[in-house]
Amino acid sequence: MAAYDLDEQEKLGDLKAWWTTYGNYITAAITVVALLIAANQGWKWWTAKQANEASTLYFALSDAGGKNDAAKAKDAVAQLVEKLPGTGYAPRGALLAAKAAFDTGDLATAKTQLEWVVANSKEDELKSIGRLRLAAVLVDQKQYDAALAALDGKHSEPFAGLFLDMKGDIFTLQGKPADAKSAYEAALAKLDSKGSQKQYTQLKLDAVSASAGAAK
């Protein structure tokens, strides 16, 4: 029995010695893990909260756009881009707000919203849509060189045909049929053969080619 007690005491002594040596490290490690878990849970809560707020503002913005309430749309998108710019709703909301502004003739606001999308969206597709619509607004303002500069910016490959098609439109407005013809031809090579856009581009190419031929 005494031998058993001695053995237990030795084990207990070893355990105490081990804990004295490594106890602080273990406590620190447990604390770090606990903090990481808490931080992760906090981050998930904060992300969910932001997503919920952003979705609420986005749908309010969408509703305002459907009712042509430009003032309400402008207020909703201002909150989105100022308070929740990192969410996916912000650039989408800015695109909706730009459309609402454009439809009411407020080109300055539409331009501002689209410039924000181009500068801040993390999604290449949304950036491309923003550039296309920004170019359209600039064309409406007769800022043709600025519109071409917007179209020269980086864009997703699936949008290449649309970018070239709009360049053709701008060159036509500038009275440059040769440049327009080249742009339309390049657009046709990029556009989806099954889409209706290709037919429209072909019609524009035929028209500008006839115009260029008549000029000769």
Tens-place pLDDT, residues 81-92: 777 667 777 888
Of 146-150, 197-201, 210-214, the poorest mean pLDDT is in 210-214
For residue 28, is it within any domain? no
The Cα 141–Cα 153 span in angstroms is: 19
Who contacts 55 (Cβ-Cβ below 8 Å, separation ≥6)?
89
pLDDT digits (tens, 9 = 90+) for 147-199: 999 999 989 898 899 999 999 999 999 999 999 999 999 999 998 877 788 88
Domain hosting 118: range is 49-155
One domain for residues 195 and 130? no
Residues 166 and 206 in one domain: yes
Final residue belonging to a domain, choices 104, 121, 155: 155
Q: Same domain for 150 and 58?
A: yes
Same domain, 150 and 96: yes
What pLDDT is attached to residue 44? 46
- 164 with 147, same domain: the answer is no
The position carrying tokens 């919920």 is: 52
| Rounded Cα–Cα distance for residues 52 and 54 (Å) | 5
In a domain, 30, yes or no: no
Is 183 found in the same domain as 150? no
Say if 2 falls within a structural domain: no
For residues 61 and 149, state if they share a domain: yes
How far apart are alpha carbons 161 and 159 in whole angstroms? Answer: 6
- Indicate the number of domains in the chain: 2
CA distances to 37, 50, 177, 216 from 187, in Å: 52, 40, 15, 24
Domain boundary among 137, 155, 173: 155
Tokens representing 90?
């912000």
Residues 170 and 151 in one domain: no
Q: What is the pLDDT of residues 10-24, one digit of tens each?
A: 655 555 555 555 555
Q: Are residues 176 and 212 in the same domain?
A: yes
In this structure, what DSSP letter does residue 50 have? H
Tell me which of 106, 123, 155 is where a domain ends. Answer: 155
In a domain, 71, yes or no: yes
Q: Are 162 and 150 in contact (CB under 8 A)?
A: no
pTM of the model: 0.69
Q: CB count, 10 Å around CB of 82?
A: 9
Phi and psi angles of residue 175, each rounded to the nearest 5 degrees, phi first: 75, 35
Report if residue 70 sits inside a domain.
yes
Q: Is the Cβ–Cβ distance between 68 and 104 less than 8 Å?
A: yes
Cα(132)–Cα(127) distance, rounded to whole angstroms?
9
Does residue 24 sit within a domain?
Answer: no
Residues 6+ apart with CB under 8 A from 16: none
Does the pLDDT of residue 46 top 50, yes or no?
no
Residue 114 falls inside a structural domain: yes
